[in-house]
Amino acid sequence: MDMLRNEGAIGHARIAQRSTIGMMTVGHVRIDGRRSYGYGLFAEQRADGERIVYHSGGHKGVAAYADYLPGRGIVCAALTNLASAPAGKLWTGCVNAALGLPFEAEPEPEPVYAMPPERLSGFTGEFHSEEGVRFSITRDGDGLRFVAAGERVSLRLVEADAFSMEIGGQRQLLRFERDAAGTVTHAFHGLRLVLRSRPDVQ
């Protein structure tokens, strides 16, 4: 993170060119209304106007969240020894404290829209990728539920064909892609395009 804050330098050593850091920390591929992906890092414009550059990750038994606020020169990393620990919320609290905000202050909530119940079955099914990503989308009353690896979370419609969910204390976006006939064929999740392999799971 110091490499980002110091525009590619650590101490007296230059690890990367300033132009390289600039390309890493600017979004090139849009994810949603506020987030985009640069070269290896996410870029986001917060509702309070702060721009953040970050990445998160996890594996069996660990979770991590590291961020940089270019306009403030603030870097912060949250590391946990529990895969399901809310590293993102821990990081948000630390940054809020550095900015003089209440520790538990949340970004502006996303708008939530309603969808006619008869349209929900157009999203349900099993999704998988060749690298092993697997999840299901099922009906949850008048809404939808994301089911994967022990997680069962409700989805909130925030854009056309895009839903928000919270896993491990972090908001995640699930966006569906359609073919020319208007049928959902894939879901964009975790920067992966995941095939809808079997529709209509209830």
What tens-digit pLDDT sequence spans the chain (202 residues)?
Answer: 778 888 888 888 888 898 888 888 888 887 776 788 888 888 888 777 788 888 887 777 787 888 888 888 888 888 888 766 777 788 888 888 888 888 877 666 667 788 888 899 999 999 999 888 899 999 998 899 999 987 899 999 988 899 988 876 677 889 999 999 999 999 998 778 899 988 775 5
Cα 118 from chain centre: 28
Do 94 and 131 fall into the same domain? no
Q: Which two tokens stand for residue 120?
A: 């929900």
Tell me the per-residue pLDDT of 132-186, one tens digit each, with 9 for 90 and over: 889 999 999 889 999 998 789 999 998 889 998 887 667 788 999 999 999 999 9
Do 75 and 143 fall into the same domain? no
Domain-embedded: residue 9: yes
Strand partners, 45: 51
Do 121 and 92 fall into the same domain? no
Do 94 and 121 fall into the same domain? no
Do 79 and 29 fall into the same domain? yes
Determine the Cα–Cα distance for residues 196 and 202; give it in Å rounded to an integer.
14
Domain-embedded: residue 107: no
- Identify the residue whose tokens are 């892609």: 177
Q: Which CATH number do you get for residue 123?
A: 2.40.128.50
Do 94 and 168 fall into the same domain? no
The pTM for the full model equals 0.70
Could you give the 3-state DSSP secondary structure of residue 202?
coil
Domain-embedded: residue 63: yes
Q: Are 4 and 76 in contact (CB under 8 A)?
A: no
Domain-embedded: residue 10: yes
Q: Which domain holds residue 86?
A: 2-98
Q: Are 187 and 175 in contact (CB under 8 A)?
A: yes
Do 6 and 58 fall into the same domain? yes
Q: Which two tokens stand for residue 67?
A: 């961020």
From 98, 125, 152, give the residue that closes a domain.
98
| Spatial CA neighbour of 32 closest among 170, 182, 159, 168 | 159
Determine the Cα–Cα distance for residues 151 and 37; give it in Å rounded to an integer.
25
Q: What is the chain's percent helix, strand, coil content, to nearest 5?
A: 15, 45, 40
